[in-house]
Amino acid sequence: MLNYVWLALILLGFASAVYLDVSDISANKFRNDDQLDCSVSYLPEYENKNSFDTKILISKKTFTEFYGQSIENDLNIPVKLSRTNQNNFYQAFIKIDNSSPEIWKEIAAASGKEDDIIGKVQITTPIDSTMYSAKITLESVSFVFLKKVTNEAIKIAGTAVEIALGLIGLMAMWLGIMKVAEDAGLIKIIANFIKPVTKRIFPEIPPDHPAIGSMVMNISANMLGLGNAATPFGLKAMEELDTLNPNKGTATNSMITFLAINTAGLTLIPATAIAVRAAAGSSDPTIIIGTTMFAAFCATLTGLTTAKLFHLISAGKEKFFDTIKKNLKKILLVLLVIISLIVISSVGALKFLSFIFNETSFNLFKKTIEVISVIAIPVIIVAFIGFGAYKKVKVYEQFVEGAKEGFNIAVRIIPYLVAMLVAIAIFRAGGAMNNWLVPILKIITDPLGMPAEALPMALMRPLSGSGSLGIMAEIMKVHGPDSFIGILVSTFFGSTETTFYVLAVYFGAVNVKNTRYALPVGLIADVAGILAALFIVTLLYG
């Protein structure tokens, strides 16, 4: 699937670039070889100079009629003029900055330098003693979007490596801490603490079966945001669950329920998203901890509910209705929570909650989320390392061993980041994102309050971890990690999981070909996580 997505990004970006370039050339958008009327400040002392600094004045009306693009004010442009072999003709060097017209910025970028434009000025008749009428012809440019594709692809390849290098330290730190906690037995303590819950979630499994311990270890690792550490436990859990499977090759209810939790992305510490935010220069990388916890909880609740509902439906009509009657109140309560989240996300979280919370309650809720985000990581670091020391674990040696794995993981993602970021860069630079995809998606996303630019992340996340990581990094590069969109996509990444990858790897490990309804359960959980993330991020930072 990722191969097709990756190829589609490149082909659509290239096709868009060609289409837009051909359109621009046929319409002569940049007015190549055409003369733009202007006036030049020309003092008598300039007669004896081969080059001099002066100013060119272009009226708002003239510029708008020439390019077909309006500007707010008349242009008064500093310029350096140099004499040429032709009488009254001068070579002009125009500096480009943020105040320059957008079309001139495009010309500068297409010419290879984003801070200047070269042109030719013909001085004609005097207006007064210091001003002369003139005509300016800017350098010819063509294939602007194809040049952008080339430049951005080369540039983003270097950015991908920088992002991966920025991840090394944080990944090494977290895996080092987890290694200490594992050797100290803290992970097992956490697993035993959660066991009473697992008995209710997996009633088909005997309480003392080895699958319980492996699943709890996997869920615990996922809750700490360490997907790579969780995978071995998950594979072991699937092997143990398969020993209880009376119909080999077909997914059991317990397998589907377990994977519903996995694909829901239940997490407390979204370590990878935090690392990417830190590498992107965020002033507060951990701000997403609270929003991620909320969205992941909603996704998990939805995944479990959906899985149980499918279990009942598959069990037969009689058992289905009998169970519904016995648990009607619980089911209605869960459905009410899920529907409320969808409705609130649709009509606007802030407007809806203004009828429920007064200002004091709202501020207290927001402050609580912020406090959790601030203290979570320091508390976990001190608690895990301190517990390891208390249990007489050689904390330094074990931390280093875990850190080595973190280093290797960060280095291994470089090729994936380069591949995906280059494809995304081509897609964006070619104009496909802004000119094709965003306008279409706005029809769907605007009523929900979701920025159209964030939707590709939501769509990619269930398909590929490396692909969604690349999209998240690219969005942060464009919009900033602390922008609303930056926080939103970070929460998407932390509170959802790569559903297709999880199903393929985990079911493949036990040769399960008939996955039954595992995929729709996982995708429904993903949708719930995305909506919940949109709700909480809009509430706090929208």
pLDDT at 333 > cutoff 50: yes
Burial of 408 (0-12, 13-18, 19+ CB in 10 A): middle
pLDDT given at position 319: 57
**pLDDT bucket at 185, cuts 50 / 70 / 90:** confident
User: What 3-state DSSP class applies to 138?
Assistant: strand
**pLDDT bucket at 322, cuts 50 / 70 / 90:** low
CA 68, 72, 74, 76 torsion: positive or negative? negative
The pLDDT tens digits of the residues spanning 5-15 come to 678 888 988 99
Cα(517)–Cα(525) distance, rounded to whole angstroms? 13
Residue 162 exposure: Cα atoms within 13 Å on the Cβ side:
14
pLDDT at 233 > cutoff 70: no
pLDDT given at position 14: 92
**pLDDT bucket at 184, cuts 50 / 70 / 90:** confident
- Measuring CA to CA, which residue among 50, 108, 44, 109 is closest to residue 77? 108
Give the mean model confidence (pLDDT) for residues 446-475: 76
The pLDDT tens digits of the residues spanning 513-522 come to 788 888 888 8
Axis-axis angle for helices 253-263, 210-223 (nearest 10): 10
Highest-confidence range of 36-40, 109-113, 216-220, 425-429, by mean pLDDT?
36-40
Residue in the structure block whose two tokens are 């992340």 = 457
pLDDT given at position 465: 67
**pLDDT > 90: percent of the chain:** 5
Highest-confidence range of 224-228, 267-271, 309-313, by mean pLDDT?
309-313
CA Rg, the chain, in Å? Answer: 30
| Cβ atoms of residues 334 and 327 within 8 Å | no
Beta strands in 381-436 (DSSP E): none
Highest-confidence range of 190-204, 370-384, 387-401, 495-509, by mean pLDDT?
387-401
**pLDDT bucket at 380, cuts 50 / 70 / 90:** confident
**What are residue 362's DSSP bridge partners?**
none
Give the mean model confidence (pLDDT) for residues 187-195: 67
| Cβ atoms of residues 156 and 148 within 8 Å | no
pLDDT given at position 395: 87
CA 475, 476, 482, 488 torsion: positive or negative? positive
Task: Locate 59 and state its tokens.
Answer: 């009226």
pLDDT given at position 416: 64
**pLDDT bucket at 40, cuts 50 / 70 / 90:** very high
User: What 3-state DSSP class applies to 142?
Assistant: coil
**pLDDT bucket at 96, cuts 50 / 70 / 90:** confident
Domain ranges of the chain: 31-141, 168-411+445-541
pLDDT given at position 517: 83
pLDDT given at position 133: 92
Give the mean model confidence (pLDDT) for residues 200-207: 78
User: What 3-state DSSP class applies to 93?
Assistant: strand
Q: What is the mean pLDDT of the chain?
A: 78
Cα(170)–Cα(192) distance, rounded to whole angstroms? 28
pLDDT at 265 > cutoff 80: no
Q: Which of residues 410 and 66 earns the better pLDDT score?
A: 66
Residue 178 exposure: Cα atoms within 13 Å on the Cβ side:
26
- Measuring CA to CA, which residue among 229, 184, 59, 207 is closest to residue 133? 59
CB under 8 A, 24+ apart: contacts of 28-32: 29/67, 29/103, 30/103, 30/106, 30/107, 30/138, 30/140, 30/141, 30/142, 30/144, 31/66, 31/67, 31/138, 32/140, 32/141, 32/142
DSSP letters spanning 481-541: TTSHHHHHHHHHHHH---HHHHHHHHHHHTT--B-TTHHHHHHHHHHHHHHHHHHHHHHHH
Three-class secondary structure assignment of 212-231? HHHHHHHHHHHHCCCHHHHH
The vertex-341 CA angle with 337 and 342, nearest 5°, equals 120
| Cβ atoms of residues 70 and 64 within 8 Å | yes
- Measuring CA to CA, which residue among 269, 178, 267 is closest to residue 229? 178
Give the mean model confidence (pLDDT) for residues 234-246: 80
- Measuring CA to CA, which residue among 229, 258, 182, 186 is closest to residue 515? 258
Dihedral angle, C-alpha 62, 67, 69, 71, nearest 10 ° = -40
Report the amino acid identity of residue 213.
G
Spell out the residues 6+ positions from residue 358 whose beta carbon is closer than 8 angstroms to its own.
none
pLDDT given at position 447: 78
**pLDDT bucket at 135, cuts 50 / 70 / 90:** very high
pLDDT given at position 348: 47
**pLDDT bucket at 347, cuts 50 / 70 / 90:** very low
Cα(295)–Cα(528) distance, rounded to whole angstroms? 8
| Cβ atoms of residues 344 and 535 within 8 Å | yes
Burial of 414 (0-12, 13-18, 19+ CB in 10 A): middle
- Measuring CA to CA, which residue among 124, 116, 144, 147 is closest to residue 38? 124
